[in-house]
Amino acid sequence: MSSETNKILTTDGIPLEESLKKAERKNKIKAFLLVCPLLLFLIITYVFPIGEMFTRSIDDKMITNMLPNTFKSMESWDGQDMPEESVFENFYIDFKKLVENKEHGKLAQRLNKEKNGFNTILKKLFRQIQRNKIDENGSFKEQITSLHKRFNDVEYWRAIKRTAPPYTMAKYLKGMDLFIDENGGIAQVEEDRRIHRILWLRTLEIAFFVTVFCFLMGYPIAHLLATLPMKYSNLLMICVLLPFWTSLLVRTASWMILLQQQGIVNDFFVMIGLVSDDNRPEMMYNKVGTYVAMTQILLPFMVLPLYSVMKTISPSLMRAGKSLGGTPFVAFWKVYFPLTIPGIGAGCLLVFILAIGYYITPALVGGASGTLISNQIAYHMKTTLDWSFASAMGLMLLTGVLVVYWIYNKLVGVDNIKLG
Amino acid sequence: MPNNKEFVKFAKVDKSYDGKVLVVKDLNLDIAEGEFITMLGPSGSGKTTCLMMLAGFETPTNGEIYLDGNPISNIPPHKRGIGMVFQNYALFPHMTVYENLAFPLRVRKISKDEIDKKVDKALSMVSLAGYESRMPGQLSGGQQQRVAVARALVFDPAVVLMDEPLGALDKNLRESMQYEIKHIHESIGVTVVYVTHDQGEALTMSNRIAVFNDGKVQQLSSPDQLYESPVNSFVAKFIGENNTFAGEVIDVTNDKCKVKLNSGGEIFANPITVKSKGEKTTVSLRPERALINPDEKMDNSHKGKIEEVIYHGDHTRVRLNLLGNNEFILKVPNSSANLDIKLGNEINIGWNSTDARALDPK
């Protein structure tokens, strides 16, 4: 039987599907128009900046545009022996143009990053061009290689060739304390300069433990909120939300007042005789401070999803568990807890993702140990102005979050997330 | 096996939640082994509280509850071995039907083979064999209800409590479930304490019914007695339909009294709670006990005017104005003998004074 004969017609003889589509079209257009502003907003504030960040992080066009002729003639060079005469000629032409535009300094800087020693030899070439000492009718190869022995070293020409593509992964490698060595392979930076890997691990560690602490503290609170009578639970809810309504900086500052060595908490410990006056423990400018402050600040993000899930769990389920012979613990563990997993998932994901990108609080109360990867990003955005590196690290952070999300989806299933 | 008449015993139980109002007042109730007893009453009458105290989720403020002779106030719910069916079934939504039924058996550390056998048996008892791997969310309301019943019975509890278990079902399903639960009870002989506010349900299913109002048991008797001979006007009003006349007793003999109605007119009634002349009373008469143009001699006979005729299929309900009461209802079978029932007609109504019960005035 063909599908044609199967088609159901309306009383007017129009195929049912078509007529349904027509009827739904108006609603679809209406729905689209309603989400349109948000869609535009998201594209402008989210999709576009991330795209911009990505292009910036891999962008290496500057040098590609500086030495167009050199790179063109280098295409046929296999990189084994010294390049041919044409490469030297084009390099001279490109460099001369840069000297005329006073851009040769930038090139030297960029190439020096690729391989140490370029600065000196390019300065030498620059002086020769200024003094018109180069004979444009003679062999460029001979004249240039005689300027400095490094021009005769094939390694330097290889370094130039490596910079030819308009994009580079160097920033991403730098974010993982790796770099492209002279042979074009990936190598680790010297041991005393490997800071990023430490920061990544520290960020993950702090985010993980903050999530764990938030869960341990938030779960009982959420349970209490969901089971207390309305008049008490409202008050408790306000207590949970109150920190939300206070500025982040104010809250962080108050933790500093509380936790410092001459602070209120330490005073109290001394008063009750827990520690001696000249042996006050350091609770700030180390990880303890970071954990305490961040847990307090992120706690509502754990409590709220948990609360909204627990609110939907009928109290008769726990009763059923007990009346069927389960001890209170068994009833909790086998009945109540599994039903709260969607809330746990949502809360943990939320707290972890927020914690992984935190930087003001750890920077203020964490001391030396409070530098996280976000601080590095901010540092490169504001101080070194190496925006492409900041972008690269930002994207790595984003990728990390997506990986966490993916793992979560595999383990629990995103459909199970419940925010309310 | 001798039936223990006091298998479950409430002895002078009081319950208050706030220290000001007693929700349950001086409750004394004996439930025999294997009995199906229903606690019936309007909402807020304390029946559910009694059930929760028996299950162990509430503690009596005063008094003691005994199960098979042992006081249970200090035993936590999970050690009481009482099965319970909840209002909204309370099936564990994250477990399959099998796991739901296996839960009470697993916590009792019963072997896997034994669990399989018991679950099979319980499911076939509620005719749901083959549904083991379904999730509760995939079942209809009636099926969920049956799973809940099976789960409450699967571990062979001595007592099963049911808290308005059929409240969420539609009328037809509710009726068929009533019979199903009744049959299960008859076949396994478990003691059932059933809570409902639906009198029809209570009358169909129970051995005995305890009518609750205002924290007290108003009457505890078998369904027929409850209907035929209510002991006070609350029970008479709450159970079934009822024509009432308010008045004052003007004469009492042994089994007959004369009541002068507030609206004028005099009727003969059966004195239940009234003792002497001058007492205020409410006379209660079931609609089906009053007849049109009675053949035999009845000691009450009055004329009434038909105000409204409502067709009900198998019978017709006739609203009359009789002795100043224009809410007097008659149930008339739809037979050809009753064709002269027309709006505005005057008809003769008669009843025996033994069926008109003179109760407390409330």
pLDDT of residue B148: 92
B226 and B77 within one domain = yes
B204 and B254 within one domain = no
pLDDT of residue A35: 93
pLDDT of residue A183: 67
Parallel, antiparallel or unpaired: strands B243-252 and B257-261: antiparallel
Backbone angles phi, psi at A359, to 5 degrees: -145, -25
Interatomic CA distance for residues B216 and B235, integer angstroms: 12
pLDDT of residue B194: 92
B292 part of a folded domain: yes
CB A320 to CB B86 under 8 A? yes
**Span A101-117, mean pLDDT?**
83
Q: State the ipTM, two decimals.
A: 0.79
> With a threshold of 0.80, does the pTM exceed it?
no
B2 part of a folded domain: no
B218 and B279 within one domain = no
CB A319 to CB B93 under 8 A? no
- Choose one of B201, B233, B265: the last residue of a domain: B233
The tens digit of pLDDT for each residue in B15-40 reads 888 888 888 888 888 898 889 999 99
B277 and B192 within one domain = no
| Res. B8: pLDDT tops 70 | yes
- Choose one of B181, B213, B233: the last residue of a domain: B233
| Res. A335: pLDDT tops 60 | yes
pLDDT of residue B210: 92
| CATH code at position B321 | 2.40.50.100
**Span A60-79, mean pLDDT?**
83
Helix (H) or strand (E) holding A57: helix A48-58
pLDDT of residue B338: 60
B296 and B152 within one domain = no
CA contacts within 13 A on the Cβ side of B123: 20
pLDDT of residue B162: 92
Query: Which of A112-126, B167-181, B193-207 has maximum average pLDDT?
Result: B193-207
B95 and B156 within one domain = yes
B257 and B190 within one domain = no
- Residues of A at the B interface (Cβ-Cβ below 8 Å)? 314, 316-317, 319-328, 330-331, 334-335, 338-339
B127 and B21 within one domain = yes
In this prediction, residue A156 has a pLDDT band, given cuts at 50, 70 and 90, of confident
Range of the domain at B81: 8-233
CB A324 to CB B88 under 8 A? no
pLDDT of residue B252: 80
| Res. B130: pLDDT tops 70 | yes
CB B77 to CB A323 under 8 A? yes
The tens digit of pLDDT for each residue in A237-253 reads 888 888 778 888 888 88
Report how far apart, in Å, the C-alpha atoms of B216 and of each of B15, B22, B42, B130 are.
Answer: 11, 10, 12, 45
- Choose one of B233, B258, B283: the last residue of a domain: B233
Domains of chain A, CATH where assigned: 3-58 (no CATH), 61-166 (no CATH), 196-416 (1.10.3720.10)
The tens digit of pLDDT for each residue in A355-380 reads 988 888 888 888 777 788 888 888 88
| CATH code at position B207 | 3.40.50.300
**Span A44-54, mean pLDDT?**
89
**Residue B87 at interface with chain A, using a CB cutoff of 8 Å:** yes
B344 part of a folded domain: yes
Report how far apart, in Å, the C-alpha atoms of A176 and of each of A187, A373, B74 are.
Answer: 11, 11, 63
| Res. A103: pLDDT tops 70 | yes
pLDDT of residue B336: 62
pLDDT of residue A230: 84
CA contacts within 13 A on the Cβ side of A406: 6
B257 part of a folded domain: yes
B285 part of a folded domain: yes
B245 and B229 within one domain = no
pLDDT of residue B147: 92
The tens digit of pLDDT for each residue in B98-115 reads 999 999 999 999 999 999
pLDDT of residue B1: 43
Share of chain B above pLDDT 90, in %: 20
B197 and B63 within one domain = yes
**Span B68-81, mean pLDDT?**
89
Which one of A322, A323, A339, A416 makes the best mutation probe of the B interface by having the most chain B beta carbons within 10 Å? Answer: A323
Which tops the pLDDT comparison, B226 or A13?
B226
B67 and B131 within one domain = yes
Of A325, A335, A338, the CB nearest to B78: A325
Coarse DSSP helix, strand, coil percentages of chain B, rounded to the nearest 5 percent: 25, 35, 40
B274 part of a folded domain: yes
The tens digit of pLDDT for each residue in B177-195 reads 888 888 889 888 899 999 9
- Give how many domains chain B has, as a whole number: 2
The tens digit of pLDDT for each residue in B313-345 reads 788 888 888 887 778 888 888 776 666 677 777
B3 part of a folded domain: no
In this prediction, residue A1 has a pLDDT band, given cuts at 50, 70 and 90, of very low
**Span B256-261, mean pLDDT?**
83
Task: Name every residue whose Cβ is closer than 8 Å to that of residue B264 and which is 6 or more positions away in sequence.
Answer: B323, B324
Long-range pairs for A381-389 at CB < 8 Å and ≥24 separation?
A: A387/A56, A388/A56, A388/A57, A388/A58, A388/A59, A388/A171, A389/A57, A389/A171, A389/A174, A389/A175
Instruction: Identify all chain B residues contacting A322, using CB atoms and an 8 Å cutoff.
Output: 56-57, 76-78
Burial (Cβ within 10 Å: 0-12, 13-18, ≥19) of residue A56: middle
Q: How far A215 CA lies from chain B's nearest CA (Å)?
A: 22
| Res. B151: pLDDT tops 90 | yes
B166 and B246 within one domain = no
Residue (of B140, B131, B77) closest to B101 by Cα position: B131
B1 part of a folded domain: no
In this prediction, residue A280 has a pLDDT band, given cuts at 50, 70 and 90, of confident
On average, the pLDDT of chain A sits at 85
A-contacting residues of B 116-175, CB under 8 Å? 151-152, 155, 161
